[in-house]
Amino acid sequence: MRYRILGGLAVRDTEVTAGRDRVVLAMLLLHSGRGVGVDALVDAVWQERPPATARAQLHTCVSRLRRALPADNIRTVPAGYRLDVADDDLDALVYHRLVAAARAEPDPDSAAALLRQGLDLWRGPALGDIDSPAVHRLAAALDQHYATAVEDWVELELTVGGERVPPADLHRLVERFPTRERLRGQLIRSLYAGGRRADALAEYRRTRAALVDELGIEPGPELQALHRQMLAGELPAAPVPAGAAPIRCLPRAVGDFTGRTALLDRFRTQVDTAPPGPSVHVFDGMAGVGKTTLAIRLAELAVDRYPDAHLFIDLHGHSDREAVDHGAALSTLLRQLGVAANRIAGPIDQRTAQWRSELARRRTVLVLDNAATSAQVLPLLPGCGDHLTLVTSRHRLTGLDGVRTQPLAVLTEAEAADLFIRIVGERAVAEPVAVREVVRRCGLLPLAVRLAAARLSRRRRWRVADLLDRLGDTALAELTAEDRTVAAAFALSYNQLATPLQRLFRLLGLYPGERFDAPVAAALADLPRDDAEDLLAELADVNLVEEQDFATYRLHDLIRQYAATLAAADQPERQAALRRLFDHATHAAATVARPLESPYSLRTMELDPPLRPDLLPGGELDQRRWLDRNRCDHLSIVRLADATGATRCVWQLARAAWRMWYLAAEYDELIEAHRLGLAAARRDGDLRMTAVMANYLASGLFRTGRARKAVDLVQTAYENFSRLGDVNSANTCLANLATLRYLLGDIEGGYRAARRVLDHARACAEPEDMTNPLNTLGLAAARRGDLAESLDWFRRAMFLAGVAGVDAERYNTFGNVAATRMRMGHRPAERMLRLALSLNLRNGYKPAAAEAAGALGVLYRRQGRFADAIARHRTAIEVIDGLHDRQLAAQVHLEYGETLLAAGRRDAAAELFRRAAAHAAAAEAGHEQARSHAGLRALTEYPNGR
């Protein structure tokens, strides 16, 4: 089967990872062979708040899916789109066919086998990993169909022999469908038929309580009749096995256990298929992640395979009590097995032998909870015999050989919300958005979610929104219930750390970003890099930090809040650590940016010498790693510097990172950081840095459609530099003003201004200042129709960028040369444009890549290669998706529209022209606006084509 929706969404031979693409594909598969309207798809992706560009973004999603899936699978229909799949290519179609065959089969054994085949296709709730209410509504019908098929299968199995349906499987199904009385009755019958009369009666009582509490109704006539038959002894039951009674020492399982579906399914398969012998599973994770709850749940799933003894001991590896030594643990476990205290051996080696001898004649589930070390666990592990041991710990127990290890992460957002709703009830169902935000504030940590839900449950007049207000941005202090707190759980782990680990852990709480590495930790704590690496590895071993990728770490949100609270107790240490962090982040960003900066822009990067040059990224590979690991967090460090009053650090941090944000088209980050930097420079009364921040802030504002404001800022920068006597920097601002004038539609004014800037740079023998005005002259000449002059200016700019060694400007001007040659009809233009596209994509220069892709589309259009042209225009659209560059968006949509018009796709062309006009108006780009309206007029004036 190529497509699977009976569980999480999966596609054979490819991966569909983008969230919106997965929602669209899920909707198409749920309606396989039938058309799905565009409005329905938009609703599924964006719910009640679709953006203005929803239809365009939907088209992009479908385009990506078409490239990922077999040709012609997705077709455009009048209403929207349709996905055609063969009957054997979708698991839901195969499932329905098997169920229909089973219901037509007269032989119970054969019918049960067919149903089992169909049910085995299910891997969990249908499309349970898709975050879309519309998808969930449609998938719910599949889940209910599954529940009915399960009941039919169970009935057949009970008819031909109940032992083929393990009660543990029925327990799992009942928890998934708690209000289906037929399934409840089947579980009761299975327990009773297996000789577990007390359990069967207890299950009836639980069923009645659930129905009364949740629905306010009594069990139906069939269940009540079943209960009477059990009380009267009228149901057939297997005899109780001879020998000792089973031993049951597991703690009470929580009735609202939620999530971990894939883990539970994998565990159940391992238990069912494991050969006889000892099996050990180890689960480690941070405090509050639900290790004990999970272990008890898993133990319950295995009780049928291991029926003789179910044992549990808390080893107090992390508690306010001393850890249990293995001698005391053996005594406790032997007493659970019924060994009298006066019969327990004294010497440890004899007690160990006695323990293993007692186990050898039993099939046992053993839960060793809250272990401190491998050494504490090793003597307790069964030797020979058929046993399952489940071990939990906050430490990574690397000293245990031959075991299955499973690090336990927090819940998914959907799982955490489900847990919260199960505990709170109807009040939570009515506020799904607030519930999702509450569980996010809880960091998706099960303990935190439970405590938050418990707090709301105790306050009947509160809404979920009221709880959300109480949690605020730092929820840790509010997550309490009686004597249980999340902070106390963290404290047990922290108090067991050595002093150097405690200090580093505290200081890591100051880091405001998502991920950090050893150099960041070394800077915060003023440690040698090797020492920081060792300490981080130790903190990861005790699950106080999470190792995300190789040598990259993060703190869970609540743990960060806890660590920051500890750090606040020592203000001098905190201030010194922040000063080191700001210095390191500034110089790391500057180190990465310098090779990308132009010589004239380097004049404005005025930084103090680094405190720790040994921690800065070295070669090109190290710098790329820094970009991957730290770029996303840099803005949060700028915000922290501003919030803590480190005004000089604010503008230094912003200026150091300008180039990396600008080239990656991360304009929102650029704008916010430089606004903070501009305000900080003004507070300091620093005229020069006010000019620098204003100039670089203008670059982001212009790209996002605020050109008039950008002009004002560059003018301010020009005046400040002139007042300071910095003629070269003032001339750079004039070059920027020339570019802005050209782009705002003043072609001749921009051309004349650029010539003046160029003449000044020549007179001052400053060739590095010529690239910008040369590019502006090239653009203006092209707009005036003089392509030969335009090509000459661009070639000069490319040569100077190459001499200066600035790759970003070299690749950009190379693209301008290629595009101009294309307009002139030169043969090498296609090869040059493809190279420009490749270079800019590889180096992350998105605007230049989009321009090259659009130019290729124009070239192919002129050659009559419309399919190739449209593919390149779509590439340009995908590259600019999310950039908020209104001027570039106008250009890209306009070129695409002109190609569609030439290809005869008039309706689609009209839509592209309208979008281009909207972007051009927002960007105040007069030329693109005029061309867009001209395209729309052409469609109106020539309705049947030209």
Query: Which stretches of 274-377 are assigned E, i.e. beta strand?
Result: 278-284, 309-314, 364-371
Q: Using pLDDT thresholds of 50, 70 and 90, give the confidence band for residue 392.
A: very high
pLDDT of residue 765: 52
Q: Are 794 and 813 in contact (CB under 8 A)?
A: yes
Kindly tell me if the per-residue pLDDT of 592 is higher than 80: yes
Contact 631, 654 (CB under 8 A): no
pLDDT band at 803 (very low <50, low <70, confident <90, very high): low
Per-residue pLDDT tens for 543-555? 889 887 777 898 9
The residue whose two tokens read 């220069």 is: 845
Residue-wise pLDDT tens digits, 445-479: 888 888 888 888 888 888 888 888 888 777 777 77
Average confidence (pLDDT) over 908-926 = 87
Q: What is the mean pLDDT of residues 570-581?
A: 94
Instruction: Classify 704 as helix, strand or coil.
Output: coil
pLDDT beyond 50 at 826: yes
Amino acid at 561: Q
Confidence of residue 534 (pLDDT cuts 50, 70, 90): very high
Distance CA 632, CA 638 (A): 12
Total length of the chain:
946
Whether the predicted pLDDT of 244 surpasses 60: no
Question: Is 600's pLDDT higher than 70?
Answer: no
Cα 453 → chain centroid:
24
Identify the CA nearest to 497 among candidates 446, 528, 540. 540
Q: CA 819 → CA 439, 775, 790, 808, 852, distances in Å?
A: 51, 13, 11, 17, 7
Give the start-to-end residue ranges of the domains of the chain: 247-407, 413-488, 570-691
- What is the chain's mean pLDDT, rounded? 85
What is the spatial distance between Cα 870 and Cα 859, in angstroms, rounded to a whole number? 11
Average pLDDT of 266-292? 87
Rounded to the nearest 5 degrees, what angle is found at the Cα of 421, between the Cα atoms of 420 and 424?
85
Residue carrying the six token digits 């940590």: 445
Structure-model confidence comparison of residues 238 and 102, the more confident one: 102
In angstroms, rounded to a whole number, what is the distance separating the alpha carbons of residues 566 and 504?
11
792 contacts: CB under 8 Å, gap ≥ 6: 778
Mind giving me the DSSP string for 553-599? EE--HHHHHHHHHHHTT-HHHHHHHHHHHHHHHHHHHHHHHGGGS-H
CA dist 138 and 127 (Å) reads 10
Q: Are 592 and 626 in contact (CB under 8 A)?
A: yes
Query: Residue 745: is its pLDDT beyond 70?
Result: yes
Using alpha carbons, select from 849, 807, 839 the residue that is nearest to residue 592: 807
- What is this structure's pTM? 0.63
* pLDDT for residue 241: 39
Mean pLDDT of 171-185: 82
With b for 16 or more beta-carbon neighbours within 10 A and e for fewer, the 529-561 pattern comes to beebbebbebbebbbbbbbeeeebbbbbbbbbb
Fold exhibited by the domain 247-407: Rossmann fold (3.40.50)
Dump pLDDT digits (tens) for 417-447.
999 998 888 888 888 999 999 888 888 888 8
**CA–CA dist 459, 15 (Å, integer):** 45
Give per-residue pLDDT as tens, 52-91.
888 888 888 888 898 888 877 889 888 789 998 888 889 9
Distance CA 696, CA 700 (A): 7
pLDDT for 245 equals: 66
CA dist 443 and 557 (Å) reads 6
Mode of pairing for the β-strands spanning 404-407 and 387-393: unpaired
Give mean pLDDT, residues 197-225: 82
Q: Taking each helix axis as running N to C, give the angle between helix 557-567 and helix 499-508, from 0 to 180 degrees, rounded to the nearest 10.
A: 110
Predicted local distance difference test score (pLDDT) of residue 242: 41
Which pLDDT score is estimated for 238?
A: 44
Amino acid 943: pLDDT: 58
pLDDT greater than 80 at residue 170: no
User: Which distant-in-sequence residues (6+ apart) come within 8 Å of 19 by Cβ?
Assistant: 131
Q: How much is the pLDDT for 161?
A: 57
Dist CA 257 CA 293 (whole Å)? 8
Question: 781-812 burial, b if ≥16 CB within 10 A, otherwise e?
Answer: bbbeeebebbbbbbbbbbbbbeebebbbbbbb
Residue 785 has pLDDT above 70, yes or no: yes
Average pLDDT over every residue of 843-865: 86
Burial classification of residue 728, based on how many CB atoms lie within 10 Å of its CB (0-12 exposed, 13-18 middle, 19 or more buried): middle
How far is Cα 424 from Cα 585, in angstroms, rounded to an integer?
44
Residue 240 binned pLDDT confidence (cut-offs 50, 70, 90): very low
Both tokens of residue 721? 């530099």
User: What pLDDT sits at residue 232?
Assistant: 67
What does each C-alpha distance from 399 to 312, 388, 419 come to in angstroms?
Answer: 22, 19, 34
- A 10 A CB-CB count for 907 gives 8
Termini Cα distance of the chain: 48
